[in-house]
Amino acid sequence: MGYPDQRFNVNLSILFTELPLLERPAAAAAAGFTAVELWWPWIETPTPIRAELDALKKALDDAGTQLVGLNFYAGQLPGPDRGALSVPGAESDRFRENIEVAADFAASVGCTALNALYGNRVEGVDPQVQDALALENLVLAARAADRVGAILLVETLNKPESPLYPLVSAPAAIEVVDKVNAATGLGNAKFLLDLYHLSMNGEDLSQVIKAYAAKTGHVQIADNPGRGAPGTGSLPLERLLDELKDAGYTGWVGLEYKPGDRSSAESFDWLPASARAAG
């Protein structure tokens, strides 16, 4: 497998998790990568103390790795939570507390993409109430992202693994993207196109790429079944990434897969070393 024309980054919240957080940027660099992304690293708090933010910035800087994507606070992730912004009460309050903190940290490390996971449906709460809250919070997030020169990402997950998450199709996420852009007038809300999640939903991936590449701000990949490295399942990822390129997508491709029974460093044998350092 060649992948010569892609810009790959490593998600340090699913790869290199055998190491403490602050050691992961250096490990990614040692594996040949120059760009990384992260889920919100502090799952217990949307507002970590300054020393923790500074320590992560230093780890990224010392490793020479560029943070190209960061999640806003999303609750217990990995775990049962799938975001916070549409969950009434304490969780959406935490999301709001996190917005400027995450945006300011992104600005401090030159990160230009902030991902806002929508949040699960809550039993006993009208879905329309959750959707109105979600739009309100996404507008705030989009404005904060714009303030620091970043885009806001809206992600589709998959129904088998996230049955309470309402955005389980590409059109559903695109509808939210369009609503946020209409509400803000900024045009900085984009689709996070995750080929693994979309394949788990049974979508026609080539058709999704053709329809939505122009609204895509970030791409993530893992093979299916198993959410492993490319080549461990049956997805034609090389062809699909070529289709994205042909459709005009020139952004980052995040490696968001599980390394399986190997170390994270060993799981990159599908990708030539020459293709790992993004220019």
Using the predicted structure, report yes or no on whether residue 1 has a pLDDT greater than 80.
no
Q: What is the pLDDT of residues 163-200, one digit of tens each?
A: 999 999 999 999 999 999 999 999 999 999 999 999 99
Report the alpha-carbon distance of residue 224 to residue 215 in Å, rounded: 24
262 lies in some domain: no
157 lies in some domain: yes
202 lies in some domain: no
Q: Model confidence at 2, in pLDDT bands (50, 70, 90)?
A: low
Residues 6+ away with beta carbon under 8 Å from 133: 85, 86, 88, 92
Which pTM value belongs to this model?
0.96
Number of structural domains (the chain) is 1
Percent of the chain at pLDDT exceeding 70: 98
Residue 78 confidence (pLDDT): 81
Q: Catalytic annotation on 155?
A: yes
* Average pLDDT score over residue span 239-265: 96
Nearest of 240, 215, 237, 213 to residue 224 by alpha carbon: 237
Q: Model confidence at 161, in pLDDT bands (50, 70, 90)?
A: very high
269 lies in some domain: no
Nearest of 93, 98, 183 to residue 135 by alpha carbon: 183
Q: What is the pLDDT of residues 144-156, one digit of tens each?
A: 999 999 999 999 9
204 lies in some domain: no
Per the structure, the complete domain to which residue 125 belongs is given by: 7-192+212-219
Task: Give the residue carrying structure tokens 């122009």.
Answer: 214
Report the alpha-carbon distance of residue 141 to residue 112 in Å, rounded: 13
Q: Determine which one of 37, 91, 155, 203 is catalytic.
A: 155
CATH number, domain of 63, equals 3.20.20.150
Following DSSP, what letter does each residue of 26-72 receive, concatenated?
HHHHHTT--EEEES-S-TT-SS--HHHHHHHHHHHHHHT-EEEEEEP
Q: Determine which one of 37, 91, 203, 256 is catalytic.
A: 256
Q: Model confidence at 126, in pLDDT bands (50, 70, 90)?
A: very high
Residue 77 confidence (pLDDT): 79
Using the predicted structure, report yes or no on whether residue 76 has a pLDDT greater than 90.
no
Q: Catalytic annotation on 256?
A: yes
40 lies in some domain: yes
267 lies in some domain: no
Mean pLDDT of the chain: 96
143 lies in some domain: yes
Q: Phi and psi dihedrals of 106, rounded to 5?
A: -55, -45
Q: What is the pLDDT of residues 207-237, one digit of tens each?
A: 999 999 999 999 999 999 999 999 999 999 9
